[in-house]
Amino acid sequence: MDHTLGHQHAVQPLPHRSGPLTDVRVIDLTAALSGPFCTMLLADLGADVIKVEPPKGDFTRSGGPFTSGDTTRNYGGYFASVNRSKRSIVLDLQQEADRATLVDLVRTADVIVENFRVGVLDKLGIGYEALAAVNPRIVYGAVRGFGDPRTGESPYASWPAFDVIAQAMSGLVASTGEPGTFGTRVGPSIGDTYPATLLALGITAAVHEARRTGLGQFVDVAMYDALVAMNEETVYRYSYWGRPDVPNGNMHPIHIPFGIFHTADGACAMAAPTNHWPILCELIGRPDLIDDERTSTNRSRNGNRAMVMEIIESWMAAHTTAEVIEILGGKVPVGPVNTNAMLFDDPHLIAREMLVALETPGAERPTVFANSPIKFSRTKSGVHRRAPLLGEHDAEVRAEI
């Protein structure tokens, strides 16, 4: 599909704020990726998220990509993706009057979220304890590289961090990539987005508890901690076996077949390590492998890995991706290795409304973003407005307080 026409196949944003969190107000002091992704999740679920920006705005506003014809360049795709469905107000927190306005905002809110380094807001007199004193119900969420001393001391607490640091330290890099290497960073910035997702869950749980008790609390997620939790098998495998992880390429260290396989014109993911193995054998014309003692169980296949892989790889390489999907689809777990261009034509994503078209001020056409994957049968949620211009809702928000 022509990328400039993708919006024609995407859904429009919801007509208004909707979802199970419409009665929750969030004050968003975050910038970059981890914090905005967390508050984006809450906004997609219906929360009223007020993004507080410094006079120059979130620094990611100036980052791309930009569409052709966008002469105003109010913000690029990075900012637009994780700041949709929010309102923007400008406050210079170095100024006493603007700090007072923030405190007034907090009085009206359920949640405040920030991703500064440890102690930054405390030095300004607007840390958790100061804000809880004016609103005891406030849930204060923070995402940092190594957590906050309020929930647990860390020798790295003051260290700055990026996604790649969390990926490397958590063991994720060491178990990813081609055999014989020291590992590979995972492409998407999951060192930011996964901690942010956990923080959104923690915040929602804390709001639930605060409404029962009348007391909020401090909630934080360390990027490092989150990736250790996500990569949980790294921890228990060493506890059981006592040997370090090494990169396994596109295959699984235990299950077989399980991985990415070349086809005649591309690649497919396929996994049939347990009850799907006999079905796979029939479909590829090798029913003899079902009861063969060398291949009948996952354990025996592991002992004869080279033979099994040669059989599967040869069959895959003799068929196009479309043929593999036609033969195996719906019978054993299988899927094409899609590029981002292929996502725009996928009937599943279109049917599930996973692509949403949003207006970009100053641009000639709407641009497309990933919609919320959290679906509800009754309280429909998702994107309801484009990302805000800097200070676009200043008067509106100030009138509310």
- Residue range(s) occupied by CATH 3.40.50.10540 in the chain: 3-232+362-400
Q: Kindly report the CATH number that applies to the domain delimited by 3-232+362-400.
A: 3.40.50.10540
pLDDT of residue 280: 98
pTM summary value = 0.95
pLDDT of residue 397: 98
pLDDT of residue 68: 84
Asked whether the CA dihedral 314, 318, 323, 327 is positive or negative, the reply is negative
Are 3 and 340 in contact by the 8 Å Cβ rule? The answer is: no
pLDDT of residue 69: 84
Strand order in the sheet with 258-262: 258-262, 267-271, 334-336
The alpha carbons of the chain give a radius of gyration, in whole angstroms, of: 25
pLDDT tens for the chain, 401 residues: list them: 899 999 999 999 999 999 999 999 999 999 999 999 999 999 999 999 999 999 999 999 999 999 988 989 999 999 999 999 999 999 999 999 999 999 999 999 999 999 999 999 999 999 999 999 999 999 999 999 999 999 999 999 999 999 999 999 999 999 999 999 999 999 999 999 999 999 999 999 999 999 999 999 999 999 999 999 999 999 999 999 999 989 989 999 889 999 999 999 999 999 999 999 999 999 999 999 999 999 999 999 999 999 999 999 999 999 999 999 999 999 999 999 999 999 999 999 999 999 999 999 989 899 999 999 999 999 999 999 999 999 999 999 999 99
Question: Which residues are catalytically annotated?
Answer: 192
Question: Three-state secondary structure along the chain?
Answer: CCHHHHHHHCECCCCCCCCCCCCCEEEECCCCCHHHHHHHHHHHCCCEEEEEECCCCCHHHHCCCCCCCCCCCCCCHHHHHHCCCEEEEECCCCCHHHHHHHHHHHHCCCEEEECCCCCHHHHCCCCHHHHHHHCCCCEEEEEECCCCCCCCCCCCCCCCCCHHHHHHHCCCHHHCCCCCCCCCCCCCCHHHHHHHHHHHHHHHHHHHHHHHHCCCCEEEEEHHHHHHHHCHHHHHHHHHHCCCCCCCCCECCCCCCEEEEECCCCEEEEECCCCCHHHHHHHCCCHHHCCCCCCCCHHHHHHCHHHHHHHHHHHHHCCCHHHHHHHHCCCCCEEECCCHHHHCCCHHHHHCCCEEEECCCCCCCCEEEECCCCCCCCCCCCCCCCCCCCCCCHHHHHHHC
Architecture of domain 267-336: 2-Layer Sandwich (3.30)
- Residue range(s) occupied by CATH 3.30.1540.10 in the chain: 267-336
With CA atoms as reference, report the closest residue to 325 among 273, 264, 375: 264
How far lies 64's CA from each of 11, 32, 68, 73, in Å?
23, 13, 11, 9
Roughly what angle, to the nearest 10 degrees, separates helices 223-230 and 232-241?
60
